[in-house]
Amino acid sequence: MNADKIPDIIIGRLPVYLRALQRMSDKGLKTTSSQELGEHVGISAAQIRKDISQFGEFGKQGTGYSIPYLMDKLREILKVNRIWELVIVGAGDMGHAIARYQGFSNRGFQVVMIFDNDSSKIGQKAGGFTIEDAAKMVERIRAARVKMAMITVPAPAAQSVADKLVQAGVKAILNYAPTSLNVPKGVHVQYIDPSTHLQRMTYYLD
């Protein structure tokens, strides 16, 4: 296996498989098949088998996959068999919603800080966190060696926040601001913008 050669589109499906396996496990299921998993995620059984086989032989002909074993393997591949610390930049509605979100802890993530540059927000609470001054963001993130961040500031401010995050040593950014970001090679960006997701669907509607 050469990890560098596995297409990103396959990597992108692994978290979806892991999430579906977690839901099966929560229901008390112990084993599954590529057919059953495929029905849960809307991907063909053949594609699932092909994707998973990129990383090794995790299932058995006839008996399928052990759910706990496959979950362990996927967590290991995705490196979420540990907890990654995250910071949030932007304490607006979305920043607050994420700071209060309970869904990260069993997926490999933990929010540790939230920043804003609005003096009326600094010192206030968001979820269990005290909102910190964005002016101290670079030193705070660097000192804590946090590698992941979520940007929830308005679009015009997003690039300068991203630049500071990169300066602070952040290597992965989940951007909620509705704008594309320029980052150096080696820094990863994913985007969450409801309007682009919606526009991708309206194309198909009448």
Would you say 63 or 201 has its CB closer to a copy of itself?
A: 201
Verify binding: residue 101, a copy of itself, rule CB under 8 A. Answer: yes
Chain positions 124 to 183 lying near a copy of itself, rule: CB under 8 A, are 147-148, 150, 155, 171-172, 174, 178-180, 182
Q: Report the sign of the C-alpha dihedral through residues 88, 94, 100, 105, in that order.
A: negative
Rounded Cα–Cα distance for residues 171 and 187 (Å): 5
Cα angle 95, 180, 165; round to 5: 55
CA distance 182 to 126: 28
Binding segment (CB under 8 A) for a copy of itself, from list 44-52, 114-122, 133-141, 184-192? 184-192
> Which residue, 100 or 136, is less far from a copy of itself as judged by CB?
100
Which of 7, 28, 42, 184 binds a copy of itself (CB under 8 A)? It is 42
Q: Which is nearer to a copy of itself, 12 or 136 (CB)?
A: 12
Among 2, 28, 93, 145, the residue binding a copy of itself under the rule CB under 8 A is 93
Q: Which residue has the tokens 């010192």?
A: 123
The C-alpha atoms of residue 190 and residue 173 are separated, in whole angstroms, by 6
Torsion of CA 173, 178, 179, 181, to 10 degrees: 0
Give the one residue of 7, 28, 62, 194 binding a copy of itself; rule: CB under 8 A.
Answer: 194
Rg for the chain, CA atoms, rounded: 19
Decide: is 46 part of the binding site for a copy of itself (CB under 8 A): no
Q: What distance in Å separates the CA atoms of residue 54 and residue 51, rounded to the nearest whole number?
A: 6
To a copy of itself, the closest distance from the beta carbon of 108 in angstroms equals: 7
Residue spans of alpha helices (H) in the chain: 8-26, 34-41, 45-53, 67-78, 93-100, 137-144, 155-167, 194-202
Q: Which of 33, 36, 41, 66 binds a copy of itself (CB under 8 A)?
A: 41
Among the listed ranges 64-72, 96-104, 114-122, 128-136, the one in contact with a copy of itself (CB under 8 A) is: 96-104
Residues that bind a copy of itself (CB under 8 A): 8, 11-12, 14-16, 18-20, 23, 39-42, 77-80, 84, 86, 93-94, 96-98, 100-101, 103-104, 107-109, 147-148, 150, 155, 171-172, 174, 178-180, 182, 188-190, 192-205
